[in-house]
Amino acid sequence: MKLGVCYYPEHWPREMWADDARRMVELGLSWVRIGEFAWSRIEPEPGRFDWAWLDEAVETLGAAGLKLVMGTPTATPPKWLIDAHPDILAWDVEGRPRRFGSRRHYSFSSETYGRQSARIVEALAARYGDHPAIGAWQTDNEYGCHDTTLDYSPNAQTAFRRWLAARYGTVEAMNAAWGAVFWSQDYPSFEAVDLPNLTVTEPHPGLHLDFRRFASDEVARFNRIQTDILRARSPGRDITHNFMGFTTSFDHGEVAKDLDLSSWDSYPLGFLESFWFSEAEKRRYLRQGHPDVAAFHHDLYRGVGRGRFWVMEQQPGPVNWAHYNPAPLPGMVRTWSWEALAHGAETVSYFRWRQAPFAQEQMHAGLNRPDNILDRGGEEAAEVAREIARLGPLPSAAKAKVALVFSYEADWRIAIQPHGAAFRHLEIVFETYGALRRLGLDVDMVSPADDLAGYALVVAPCLPYLETPFLIRLAATGARVLFGPRAGSRDVSGKIPAELPPGPLQARLKLKVARVESLRPGVETAVRLGETTFQARLWREDLETRLPARATYANGEPAWVEDEGWSYLGFWPEADLLDRILTDLAREAGLETTPLAEGVRLRRRGDLTFAFNFAPEPRAAPAPAQATFVLGDAVLPPGGLAAWRA
């Protein structure tokens, strides 16, 4: 368990560097990330490299005892490069080149940019690959951020056509897979396929799904150009990429195959403001963040990283980029840090060492203020460092007993044909995560391709495509399994399966979905479970089955059916019904639940239990009477935490 920080020596006078390094170490930091936006200073003119400043920065930081994460600077190709090669630019969905002037303005499909990226990474790796201070590498920065995965440039069009040809072999096979006959959308050749933008009404979902897969593959391919070089030139160092939160536009697992560990950038307040949360939630969790947002991503990226993850950028104070940017509660930066560690983060690295007094992020706080006074976030980081030291090594977190299935491709599938505009894969999975966590459960986020052995309960709230191998592996676990609506509702190409939804799941659960409907916000439909009538929303299916119903609709028809421990929901439940369903299933799976007070969440590492309070009021720590507190005590302050051994 280490702490780190992101640092931009190129933004500050050289005279400050040694003192900065000394103070980092004093504060208890071990890692420092540099370089990831510095291309214009590393190579100020075509082919002329200015290594002097970076050499000195690396030496200075290393000499202070810090380990470096060196970032490749490919998120920010400099102006001279763009002007020499305008084909580097990505195009937006409106059909226009996205111009230089901020960042991430490149096309993943630009062959020119592939070569240029390789050239700069090669140069960096050649110079620092075996430098003893370099402990790890970060490729690029926040792939997909600012809606940059999908590119509608001529480069992308050419590459997409090649990708399709490789996937299908013949255009007839492609047309058949999509059902291109509909509306005479047959393509005479791969070269005739256009990108799915600027069509009169929605594009063909088969083409659209392949375009999303292609775009995701392009990210992984681009990243691999860099990791291949770094592995060759800098053996023994971990390679990572800093993923962004709430980003589903490419398959992070595919990118992570070429990484040693995943990392992500955790901005709880910016995320609360920017995403789907209600006005009431945005007010209530204003300075703490939503109770499930950081934990959800910790568990997601721990899975993406096959068990290993960092927080590469931890919010240290107010950010600059949301519509509104409140300050965290005092103590919140400490709480977020411990939450990450409790969920298994190897390192928590703060963004950034010192608030920059200029440019787009000048209103983004750092551990230090622009006048180099240690800010509140810096004080809290130091406190965490002291606490880490005091506690010594923590037990490892065991694999959780509950697996929650998230799938990037499922997210694209739902986005392409939501049927109900408010239905979103990420949100459905997130709601399920929240319900499990309100029961005090530890959760592993898994992809359908992951090993599922050992789980007692597997929840797949939204998996429109089910592969039989996945179902076989799932059956082998012996776990209780819950499928949400739309499971198995599509085949590999996006078509409705011949046997109707839930497709191959019918081999295990004898039911057919006879009819579906999507419901607008404000419309509910009754579901009877035991003696209680709850409400469903968003989605409702008529199920054709003889399986026993665990819950029924108002008309008495089955709404939730089960067979030998596997069950299927024909609707999407309101929160209280979801809590009830998961409570029942957890009990049946032999799991102990701890219904938690609003805003409180738990996480275990071995015999250590952490409790976090995201409510703006104090809460009792849900600790047994005999608990021995190692952090905090029996009262969790607003935004506070405790940890105990029972």
φ/ψ of 164, rounded to 5, equals: -65, -45
Q: Scanning residues 284 to 303, which ones bind a copy of itself (CB under 8 A)? A: 286
Q: Scanning residues 442 to 501, which ones bind a copy of itself (CB under 8 A)? A: 493-500
- What is the rounded CA–CA span in Å between residue 459 and residue 430? 12
- Tell me how far, at minimum, the Cβ of 80 lies from a copy of itself, in Å: 5
- Tell me how far, at minimum, the Cβ of 440 lies from a copy of itself, in Å: 30
**In the complex with a copy of itself, which residue's Cβ is closer, 37 or 122?**
37
DSSP code of residue 34: E
Q: Which of 26, 111, 202, 451 lies at the binding interface for a copy of itself (CB under 8 A)?
A: 202
- Tell me how far, at minimum, the Cβ of 7 lies from a copy of itself, in Å: 14
| Region binding a copy of itself by CB under 8 A among candidate stretches 239-247, 260-268, 368-376, 637-645 | 368-376
**In the complex with a copy of itself, which residue's Cβ is closer, 81 or 608?**
81
Enumerate the β-bridge partners of residue 445.
404
Enumerate the β-bridge partners of residue 518.
539
What x-and-dash track marks residues 578-617 binding a copy of itself by CB under 8 A?
A: ----------------------------------------
**In the complex with a copy of itself, which residue's Cβ is closer, 194 or 238?**
194
- Tell me how far, at minimum, the Cβ of 240 lies from a copy of itself, in Å: 21
Q: Scanning residues 137 to 166, which ones bind a copy of itself (CB under 8 A)? A: 146, 148
Q: Which of 47, 522, 556, 624 lies at the binding interface for a copy of itself (CB under 8 A)?
A: 522
Q: Is 433 helix (H, G, I), strand (E, B) or coil?
A: helix
Q: Which of 113, 163, 187, 271 lies at the binding interface for a copy of itself (CB under 8 A)?
A: 187
**In the complex with a copy of itself, which residue's Cβ is closer, 315 or 609?**
315
CA distances to 95, 203, 385 from 185, in Å: 21, 10, 61
Q: Does 351 bind a copy of itself (CB under 8 A)?
A: no
Enumerate the β-bridge partners of residue 404.
445, 459
- What is the rounded CA–CA span in Å between residue 580 and residue 559? 15
| Region binding a copy of itself by CB under 8 A among candidate stretches 100-108, 334-342, 462-470, 564-572 | 100-108
Q: Which of 67, 105, 237, 604 lies at the binding interface for a copy of itself (CB under 8 A)?
A: 105
Contact between 250 and 297 (Cβ < 8 Å): no
- H or E stretch at 457: strand 457-460
Q: Scanning residues 539 to 578, which ones bind a copy of itself (CB under 8 A)? A: 540, 542
| Residue (of 320, 362, 321, 317) closest to 336 by Cα position | 317
What x-and-dash track marks residues 50-89 binding a copy of itself by CB under 8 A?
A: -----------------------x-xxxxxx--x------
Q: Does 317 bind a copy of itself (CB under 8 A)?
A: yes
- H or E stretch at 337: helix 332-342
| Residue (of 581, 563, 486) closest to 527 by Cα position | 581
What x-and-dash track marks residues 403-442 binding a copy of itself by CB under 8 A?
A: --------------x-xxxx--------------------
Known catalytic residues? 142, 313
Residue 232 Cα to chain centre, angstroms: 28
Long-range contacts of 557-566 (CB under 8 A, 24+ apart): 559/527, 559/528, 560/527, 560/529, 561/509, 561/511, 563/508, 563/509, 563/510, 565/479, 565/480, 565/481, 566/480, 566/481, 566/482, 566/483, 566/508, 566/509
